[in-house]
Chains A and B, each alone.
Chain A
């Protein structure tokens, strides 16, 4: 008890120094938590962007289709399946897609492209490409054979709205087909690679071209609850054993890798911050000990056990940590709440080219708050061990002699 009291009072002997330590703890915690939230927010927005614009939550395919986009590998009876899925009350929306790998040609250029046939009104409920239009419209037209291409494609092919393009592909029988389309909309997402490869037409037109009667290549599902994707996909897989059912994290090859890379990145950031914290506390507490050499020597001379001296100095750090941590925690929480809803605009920083959104909404799971806080606590206390041990090394005779 008396040790607690002395330790508490000792903190306030050198207010500036203690405030430096408290601020360091506070800032360290803030930086750790906010840094994590920033990275997680970045990742989350990236994932959400990919899910929202490209892949949705769950996709059904015929086995093997995803390997080479072989048009012969379609889902038979897909419309029935889609209708059935649409009645599932955990599912928000379902969209059927017919997909063809082929060549797109304009007067100037031709290049490989993946043409996706969709039903615009269904697709709107599953992905948000319709919100990414920079010119024209999302099939709201009375033009005959509409196609929506990306800005990237438009630039590469030097084509504009109303330009005519020709798509060449194989139908399900292996016969080469040509079809011309007219550009009615130009979209742009944050993912260049996706944009380069993808264009949209009406599903019925592509089906006809394919000679595909009753079937499609992909059924995309949008769930009411994002977090259910993995579980739901597993359930569907059991019900539709002849098909391949995958949740979003298994649909984009880079996704799992990216999540792991971000985790490493996160540990790296938090690690650096914690080390900076460790050294600043270590340094300050060492100063605090060296400044009190005579006093600590006196305490040991009159009979204060080393264990108690050690505990007293540890208490001092613990107290400062107990002040710094809640403040830092609150600060982090407030700044994450604020930036989480207002966003941090990074449009100058050229992130977009790598498929990142230019506005980041920091976000942190409750568990991560607790983890970082515990790490800061442990680090702060660990940092005090060396100075406290240093105090024990003092020999009272020498300490007292120093005038």
Chain B
């Protein structure tokens, strides 16, 4: 069953002197449990595509369905709620609330969802253990390394039990060792918990670990390979 289905997605920016087709006629399907990398040179439309899939941005034409729900039919408040309940986000940076500890950051999203205290406590500890941050649970983002912060971000993304996790260049700010570790973690969660991941990246070693690679160029799909 496909979790995400886009059809003829197009995003045109025409504020500048020339109109930019940031995403150009993209139709893809992502099935539950996939581990997909969206790759391509800078400016090829990776971020734009992920933002549209994540309900953060709207296409100029075409449509996105997530779990058979048409995102275009929702207003902004409905989209926020939809994101909270269905999508886990990992950004390149500024993922965490600076004033809260790792544990509190992970818990935060569950608080927004209204999850009971008992369930929150067990899930937070379990997740932080899984991402290897158990020891750092009471540290604030500023007291952790970039890699550790991204791990907390992954834990936070999973805490909401989303249909899939979207990660736009999650490793871009990490050194190569941390980047590989983060990817291994994501792979492991993908296998063990059957979490669907879609992420964008530039990093060849990260690309090598993906099981499906969608390559964009000038907003168009250049290739879509599964391996």
List residues of A whose CB falls within 8 A of some B CB. 1-2, 6, 9-10, 12-13, 294-295, 298-306, 308, 396-397, 400-401, 403
Contacts and interface: CB of A to CB of B under 8 A. Distances in A.
B83 A303 contact: yes
A295 to B, nearest CB: 6
Contact of A6 (B47, B85, B99): B99
B77 A302 contact: no
A294 B54 CA distance: 17
B80 A306 contact: yes
A302 B84 contact: yes
A6 B83 contact: no
A387 to B, nearest CB: 18
B5 to A, nearest CB: 21
Contact of A303 (B81, B98, B107): B81
A397 B57 contact: yes
A304 B98 contact: no
A401 B56 CA distance: 12
B95 A300 contact: no
B77 A295 contact: no
Interface string B98-110: 1110000001110
Given A10-B99, A303-B80, A396 B94 contact: no
Nearest to B95: A298
Contacts of A300: 80
A197 B57 CA distance: 84
Given A303-B160, A305-B81, A298 B91 contact: yes
Given A295-B94, A295-B97, A305 B56 contact: no
Contacts of A294: 94
A300 to B, nearest CB: 6
B111 interface: yes
B148 to A, nearest CB: 18
A304 to B, nearest CB: 6
B20 interface: no
A interface majority secondary structure: helix
Contact of A397 (B51, B85, B93, B156): B51
A302 B109 contact: yes
Contacts of A301: 54, 56, 83, 89, 91
A212 to B, nearest CB: 86
A218 B99 CA distance: 75
B89 A308 contact: no
B112 A308 contact: yes
Nearest to A299: B97
B106 to A, nearest CB: 12
A294 B92 CA distance: 12
Most buried by A among B56, B91, B109: B56
A298 B94 CA distance: 7
A302 B55 CA distance: 10
B51 A303 contact: no
Given A305-B77, A397-B51, 16 more contacts: A2-B108, A10-B99, A13-B99, A295-B94, A298-B91, A300-B80, A301-B83, A301-B89, A303-B85, A303-B112, A304-B112, A305-B80, A306-B80, A396-B56, A397-B57, A403-B93
Nearest to B156: A302
Given A301-B89, A302-B83, A295 B57 contact: no
Contacts of B94: 294-295, 298, 400
Contacts of B109: 302-303
Interface in B150-168: 156, 160
A303 B54 CA distance: 11
Contacts of B97: 6, 295, 299
Contact of A400 (B80, B85, B91): B91
Nearest to A8: B99
A130 B54 CA distance: 88
A399 to B, nearest CB: 9
A306 B77 contact: yes
21 contacts: A1-B111, A2-B107, A2-B108, A10-B99, A295-B94, A295-B98, A299-B97, A301-B89, A301-B91, A302-B160, A303-B80, A303-B83, A303-B84, A303-B109, A303-B112, A304-B80, A305-B112, A306-B77, A308-B112, A397-B56, A400-B91
